[in-house]
Amino acid sequence: MNLLCDHMLGSLATWLRIFGYDTFYPNEMMNDKDILQVARNEKRLLLSRDHALLMQAKKSLIPILEIQTTDLAEQLRLILQKIPPDETLFLTRCTLCNTPLHLIPKEELKNKIPEKIYQSHDTFWTCPTCKKYYWMGTHYHHMKERINTLRNNHSS
């Protein structure tokens, strides 16, 4: 199921993308009406803590998941529980814009990223939309650890 986070859930949206969920996050220009329209048109589950927005969504028969806590780990745990993630999709989506990442030949990155990183990694991805580069560096391993911690806490 594809997701939509409201304006207040930016950190959650980033983490959901890391977990591989297709997650829409509205830009500053979008109002409640625009958000509901995206949810309806793209058949997305609306995640929100905004009661008024959730009520409007309900009236329009848009599926909702009410988030009650402001704690990020709790929010993630709730969603992982309701919609189990596909582990093969971890870290396959741009955290900034939600676009699926593409593999990029290492040679293309020569002089575009720090030399140390270039030398110590062989596999790189790029976001075709915002051109950000990704590799499985320390960030990735920290994320994996945090993900595992979250999952273990959630199952216990």
What is the pattern of x (binds Zn ion, CB under 5 A) and - over residues 59-98?
-----------------------------------x-xx-
Nearer to Zn ion, 50 or 125 (CB): 125
What is the pattern of x (binds Zn ion, CB under 5 A) and - over residues 91-130?
---x-xx-x---------------------------x-xx
Nearer to Zn ion, 55 or 97 (CB): 97
Produce one character per residue of 77-97: b if its CB has 16 or more CB atoms within 10 Å, e if not. Answer: bbbbeeeebeeeeebbbbbee
Q: What does each C-alpha distance from 55 to 34, 36, 41, 60, 63 come to in angstroms?
A: 15, 11, 18, 9, 11
Nearer to Zn ion, 85 or 100 (CB): 100
Stretch 128-147 residues interacting with Zn ion (CB under 5 A): 129-130
| Tokens read off for 18 | 């890391």
Pairing of strands 102-104, 64-66: unpaired
